[in-house]
Amino acid sequence: MEQTTGRNHINRNKLNHLANDRVCKIVGCNNDFRINRTSGFCDNHEFHEHDLYLELHDPAGTLVNAPAHKDIIDALIEWSSTRNFGLLPFFSSLSFNSLGNVPDVSTLAGKVVHPGITVPTIGSIYDSLIEVINNYFPVNNNSSYQPLKTPRGEIPAIVLAYTFAGLLICEEANRGDRWFCRMVRKEEAKTTQLGAAMPIAYFATRIFPWGVEMNKSARNLTR
Ligand SMILES: [Zn+2]
């Protein structure tokens, strides 16, 4: 995963939630803003300057197009329905281990610092999700490597799961504010953004017993 410039999202963290400061919180910026502005950012810094995105390479090292959240979930659901393998505990575990554990991309990039707070590395976050995945898709079990059909070609189930974990980290970093609320504000209930909960909501919608046809309209949950 890399940080890059490009499609940047608004920084939803409220670094001036106590409304006691008026100097921009971006490292190196001394611009003022109105003291009652809770974001803590000047007019130039309302948006993240980076966007975390995932690159997928094949075993030869060639960059390949990664399937989207929706395509991965669809493939895993289809696969699980052919065997007695409930995906709910797996997605539940991914949710528990990703939501709120990924700092926003500006924090990851060191553009914002939070005194006294340890910022985890992307690598350590990813490793923790790999551990979750390996519990459900054991690396020494052949079925973990079963190739599943996606619009990007056939990809082994375990690779799809790893890719999905990477996408969750990107969503949480680019759009989430849960880590900031949990770790910095110490009030997770202040979280306003879904972040990585959005793709997981697509999974939840696909498996919920609605009683009506929902497969196509559930796409609206994947942007
Ligand atoms: Zn600024």
Q: How far apart are CA 42 and CA 59, in angstroms?
A: 44
Question: How many angstroms does the Cα of residue 48 sit away from the middle of ligand 1?
Answer: 11
pLDDT attached to residue 60:
94
Residue 139 placed within a domain: yes
User: Ligand 1 centre from 77 Cα, in Å?
Assistant: 45
pLDDT in the model for residue 7? 66
pLDDT of residue 83: 83
Q: How far is ligand 1, taken at its centre, from the CA of residue 222, in Å?
A: 32
Q: Which residue has the tokens 């094949």?
A: 58
pLDDT of residue 140: 96
Query: Is residue 200 in a domain?
Result: yes
Total number of domains constituting the chain: 1
**81, 73, 78, 87: which is closest to 222 by C-alpha?**
73
The pLDDT value recorded for residue 6 is: 55
Q: Ligand 1: distance of its center to the CA of 26 in Å?
A: 5
In a domain, 19, yes or no: no
- Is 4 a member of any domain? no
pLDDT at 193: 96
Q: Which pLDDT value is given to residue 90?
A: 97
Ligand 1 centroid from CA 44, angstroms: 5
Each residue's pLDDT expressed in tens, for the chain with a length of 223 residues: 555 555 689 999 999 999 999 999 999 999 999 999 999 999 999 999 999 999 999 889 999 999 999 999 999 999 998 888 889 999 999 999 999 999 999 999 999 999 999 999 999 999 999 999 999 999 999 999 999 999 999 999 999 999 999 999 999 999 999 999 999 999 999 999 999 999 999 999 999 999 999 888 898 888 6
User: CA 180 → CA 9, 37, 71, 117, 162, distances in Å?
Assistant: 16, 17, 30, 10, 25
What is the pLDDT at residue 3? 53
- Tell me whether residue 113 is in a domain: yes
- What pLDDT shows up at residue 66? 92
Q: What pLDDT, on the 0 to 100 scale, is given for residue 80?
A: 93
- Cα 173 to middle of ligand 1, angstroms: 20
Count of Cβ atoms closer than 10 Å to residue 42 Cβ: 18
How far is ligand 1, taken at its centre, from the CA of residue 35, in Å? 14
Give the domain range for residue 71.
Answer: 66-222
**CA 163–ligand 1 middle distance (angstroms):** 34
Going from the Cα of 38 to the center of ligand 1, the distance in angstroms, rounded, reads: 14
Q: What is the pLDDT at residue 223?
A: 64
The angle at the Cα of 182, spanning 36 to 7, to the nearest 5 degrees, equals: 70
- Whether 80 is in a domain gets the answer yes
The CA 106 to ligand 1 mean position distance, Å, reads 12
- With contact defined as beta carbons under 8 Å apart, do 75 and 152 qualify? no
- C-alpha of residue 107 to centroid of ligand 1, in Å: 14
Say how many Å lie between the CA of residue 121 and the centre of ligand 1.
Answer: 24
Q: Would residue 36 count as lying in a domain?
A: no
Tell me if 79 is assigned to some domain: yes
